[in-house]
Structure 1
């Protein structure tokens, strides 16, 4: 039977969590993912749950609810997602003034603690203290991203939902009303379709003639196999350059995103690292804003830049064997997510564009699922 109440396109974090929340409300849910193995921005991520990052009533509430969900999620999903709570250290460059930097981070609902070089080294001995003037310490949650997706999809299927590995060719509508999708293999009917395909959601929207403030960057990083060296914390550089760059690019959207091109509009290198519980690492991140999903990236140059940056701040990790990856990461403007019904087409919604997705997605998926079923907006407006 190819008839469903709702079809969700995209099987990363957003699609997997939202599918599960909708299935909990007794809807017939189909989750479509183009890859037969997990190969998306969720998998190639740090898995950090930044529950300190709320800055207003809405995001503070989501942060608080998000971390509480995680503290009970292994039991709810009946699967170990490697959830833990640890310290996040934002390293302050040796040329930055610690006190000025500290003041810039007071807007968050959980303020950081300013550490000097000695205190930083005590928490994380692998950090090269000659490269820093101090650090900011935040409380952070953490999960293994691939286990997170797997756990939600297994829970979805236990509730009767289906997961299919099929590439969506087109979203089908009758005049301005959703009727289903076509994939490479099948046609599926549903009166509700939700786009959770991250950067690829932009292409789907364009094919439907819809313009929403959804953009993307190319994120490059190195994933390693388990290694004997031990990192105690999650380490990131103390900079808002990536978010500032995304904001500037979003504000110039009419000029930059009119057509696909290989023009580089933003380039931010962050020398961070996290070690998962199995001993493997995620190292560094380069965020490049290029308005072409298939833009060629020079892996040799990119990997060298990542390793050189890591060598400065975490020298013992710089030469670990690992594999370079590139993926596309969606972002929006104004809010740290783009969630709601798309007014131009009845039955079409989007759940994408997340900044700090691991903290915001689980609680927001519950609110959005409740809205789609009951029509009540209890937190934010879900009409785009």
Structure 2
């Protein structure tokens, strides 16, 4: 393969699709490499929530504002129905918790939360079990169907002249301190720049090329139901999310070396009871999170499904026994909950765009900023935003 691309983008989920489109839109030649012909990762199984209310710092507030504005523009820009809508998000508070204490955790959010009594929460969402909650925190939320957004990005990429190839990247090709392209299971491709957008597989791909980075992954498990006549009026999630603490504990520097050894379960699994219904009337229930250091291991589907349904039975009892299928995917994250965006240390022409705990709110604006930063016309203040998310902020 003699063609030299401006950019090779590895990974065709929401991160790779968005970034490929934005790079092509500003005039770069782009090759997107994705190992699966059918979307099967975290984007395929995501809830689709756009948590633009969550900004708690100047950085995240700015990205939250840009994120929701970008989502409101994208259906028209991409000429696609991505099922964008705005709805209520209910963050349920366990019956044995103090609502005021839980509410305090959200005091610094970009948009102020509203504390609902148990009665008010159940009036807003009748499928909730009033005996299981002490109330709920309400936010106005936004929502899309992630696979539709990815498809829209990819269609637009092709229209702009970008190329999409379904092949598995096995390593990054290196000459001295420069990454000059990639090798797949079929052939080699050359590029002026390469960016890893491989989500939960980013760490193992970098490791295979001798590159260290503090990016991690959980094994996320959920149930996707068949279409149902039941109507879930809101999006439901727990106010005290166990997954966030699991990620923080699993990414401490002291246990970082264990991530490069397969066979470890670093911490006990956790289950966060949540649910969302899509336009086709299917629902997603979950999620169970496991910290297994082998990205290729497959958890016990029966055991996991039983755990998810048991937890759902407490909070959303009418949904717990709906017919559905268990699914599993990898979800990338970083130690501080912020994505890893920018150049990798001690190497040239290689970048990381991954580790998004809240991908839908942050990916679209950051993909736009990233692409424009490499054009001569990037006179706006993108550097301050992107530099704060550098993979080098952890000293690696």
CA distance in 1, matches of 2:185, 2:371: 28
Aligned twin of 2:112:
111
Cα distance change on mapping 1:330 and 1:110 into 2, 3 Å: same
CA distance in 2 between counterparts of 1:85 and 1:296 reads 35
Structure 1 equivalent of residue 385 of structure 2: 379
Query: What is the match of residue 256 of structure 2?
Result: 254
Give 1:335 deviation, angstroms.
4.5
Q: Distance in 2 between matches of 1:370 and 1:299?
A: 43
Q: Residues of 2 paired with 1:127 and 1:378: CA distance?
A: 43
CA distance in 1, matches of 2:320, 2:69: 35
CA drift of 1:285 comes to 0.1
Conserved 8 A contact 1:58-1:380: no
- Please name the residue that 1:358 is paired with: 360
Partners of 1:115 and 1:16 lie apart in 2 by 38
2: CA distance, partners of 1:88 / 1:369: 32
In structure 2, C-alpha distance between the alignment counterparts of 1:316 and 1:258, rounded to whole Å: 42
Q: Which position in structure 1 is the counterpart of 2:346?
A: 344
State the partner residue of 1:198.
199
240 and 316 in structure 1: CA distance in 2 versus 1, 3 angstrom threshold: closer
Question: What's 1:263 paired with?
Answer: 265
8 Å contact kept, 1:266–1:290: no
Q: Within the alignment, does 1:42 sit opposite 2:43 as a pair?
A: yes
Per the normalisation by structure 1, the TM-score is 0.97
Which residue of the partner structure matches residue 75 of structure 1? 76
Does residue 218 in structure 1 map to residue 214 in structure 2?
no
Q: Quote how far apart the aligned CAs of 1:114 are.
A: 0.2
Q: What is the distance in 1 between the residues matched to 2:354 and 2:37?
A: 21
Q: Distance in 2 between matches of 1:170 and 1:278?
A: 39
Paired residue for 2:180? 179
What is the CA distance between 1:264 and its match in structure 2? Answer: 4.2
2:32 matched residue in structure 1:
31
What 5-or-longer segments of structure 1 have no aligned partner? Answer: none
| Residue segments in structure 2 that go unaligned for 5+ positions in a row | none
Quote the offset at 1:71 in angstroms: 1.1
Q: Deviations over 1:129-169 (max 9, x none)?
A: 11111000011110001111101101111111111111112
Shift of 1:241: 2.2
| CA positional deviation for 1:343 | 2.7
Q: Give the 5 Å matches for 1:53-68.
A: 53-68=54-69
**What's the CA shift for 1:313?**
0.9
In the alignment, the residues of structure 1 paired with residue 146 and residue 175 of structure 2 have an alpha-carbon distance, to the nearest angstrom, of 37
What is the CA–CA distance in structure 2 between the aligned matches of 1:188 and 1:256, rounded to whole Å? Answer: 32
**1:283-303 C-alpha deviation (Å, 9 max, x unpaired):** 110011111112231110000
Distance 1:329 1:106 in 2: 27
Q: Distance in 2 between matches of 1:332 and 1:164?
A: 28
- Deviates most, 87-96 or 243-252: 243-252
Give the TM-score taking structure 2 as reference length: 0.94
Please say if residues 227 and 282 of structure 2, whose CA atoms lie closer than 8 Å, have aligned partners that are also in contact: yes
Contact 1:6 1:192 (8 Å CA) reproduced: yes
Deviation readout 1:324-378 (Å, 9 max, x if unpaired): 0111111111251011111322100000001111000000111111223347614
What is the aligned length?
384
Does the Cα contact within 8 Å between 1:2 and 1:187 map onto a contact in 2?
Answer: no
Quote the Cα distance in structure 2 between the aligned partners of 1:65 and 1:333.
23
Q: State the partner residue of 2:5.
A: 4
Aligned partner of 2:232 in structure 1 is 231
1:120·1:135 contact (CA, 8 Å) conserved in 2?
A: yes
Q: Is the 8 A contact 2:5 2:30 kept in 1?
A: yes
Asked if the contact 1:89/1:236 (under 8 Å) is kept, the reply is: yes
The 2-side partners of 1:240 and 1:322 are apart by 24
Q: Secondary structure at the match of 1:318?
A: coil
Residues 232-264 of structure 1: CA deviation (Å, up to 9, x unaligned): 000011113211121111113334324122324
**1:195-217 per-position Cα deviation (integer Å, ceiling 9, x unaligned):** 00012110121122221110110
